[in-house]
Structure 1
Amino acid sequence: MSAHESASTPPGRAYRWWGVGAIACLVLAGVGVLGAIATAFSSGPGSLRVIGIIAVFALIPVGILGALYCGHKRYRAWFTNAHVSEGLIEEVAEVRRTNDDGSTSYYFMLTVSAAVEGGLAIRRHCTMGGDQPRPEIGQTLRFRHTTLDPDDLEDALFDSIREHQRGTG
């Protein structure tokens, strides 16, 4: 293993279980779609129509929302056993998007560099929600990462941010 390589940290049991949950939710949504299709092409009794309505308004949305939630939790679980580093913010980009209801939401894309074990310097891109104050260049960002590879820019999960303490003299 070279100085730029590091074994990835094992993701742990939670990562696997959130994956199973996501798959189960997608299967639930698929059953809802099949139930809706079967009901649409059936001229059966009224109880079959009720099953179709339940499939459309319950199984499909619950399955899709559950899969999204489990996918998000699985992504966060990937970083449970990860390295924790602090580095200085080098770049801040604000990304704005207009929602369907006309409101504007935004988030920040940050580029951070940090010194890690072995004297290596790594760079990472982190995403930070727009509900927090705008970060500034020079602030210290704490983040999690699974490798020490300096070229793996996307291997980062935002943890916290604080003002950079500058020397007074």
Structure 2
Amino acid sequence: MREQTEKWIRVARTPETRARIRREAVRERVFGVLVAVAVGLCALMVAASICLAVFQSKLAGRTTWFWATTIGTLLAFALLAMATRLWIAANNRRVDAMYADGRESVGTVVKVVEDDDRDPDTGPYYDITVTAAVAGTVSIRRVTRRAEAPRIGQRLRFRHNTLDPEDLDDVLFVGFVNEDGRGRG
């Protein structure tokens, strides 16, 4: 992630955008560390609860330990849920910041490939190759990953930072374009 962030900082056009990318990357790292701490706390509390259950006969009549570990476990899982939510939000803000100075283009889907290494619980993902004519005569190609499969020839709106024709990863999906020209996300 650090290399990707540094690449987008170099591409950013304004000092404000570079500062925003750095700020969101730091925020994402902080929340990532918080997620790791919360996972450790969850493991610790679950282990304490198991130990308490095993040695419950020696602690007969002492329900304080039971409630302490139960409440501690619930709080640890609540912290994990909150930290994960904040980490995902920070990641989304970082990605938005990386494309803040980018150009928005409308391209045509030329290839759709279903991912073979998919998780059966989440369903298929599709690698969508799109081409777009930008800046007059420059034609660029990008690949984005989506959960829904568009049809070949369908138009989609995306953001990109460079005009490099083969920088396939320089893409932020904005939405599909309906026949009337308006987008849908």
TM-score (norm 1): 0.66
Which whole-Å CA distance do the structure 2 matches of 1:58 and 1:16 have between them?
28
Work out which of the residue numbers 127, 146, 153 in structure 2 matches 1:109: 127
Q: How many Å apart are 1:27 and its aligned residue?
A: 3.1
Q: Which has the higher strand share?
A: 1
Are residues 1:98 and 2:120 paired?
yes
Matches within 5 A, 1:3-152: 8-10=11-13, 11-32=17-38, 53=73, 56-95=76-115, 97-99=119-121, 105-117=123-135, 119-130=137-148, 134-152=149-167
Contact 1:15–1:78 (Cα < 8 Å) also in 2: yes
RMSD: 3.4
Which whole-Å CA distance do the structure 2 matches of 1:73 and 1:115 have between them?
28
The amino acid across from 2:120 in the alignment is T
How many residues in Structure 1 have an aligned counterpart in Structure 2? 151
Contact 2:102–2:159 (Cα < 8 Å) also in 1: yes
Q: Which has the higher helix share?
A: 2
Contact 2:42–2:77 (Cα < 8 Å) also in 1: no
Q: Which runs of 5+ in 1 are unaligned?
A: 1-6
Q: Which runs of 5+ in 2 are unaligned?
A: 1-9, 49-63, 181-185
Which whole-Å CA distance do the structure 1 matches of 2:95 and 2:154 have between them?
25
TM-score (norm 2): 0.62
Question: Whose RCO is larger (CA < 8 A, sep 6+)?
Answer: 1
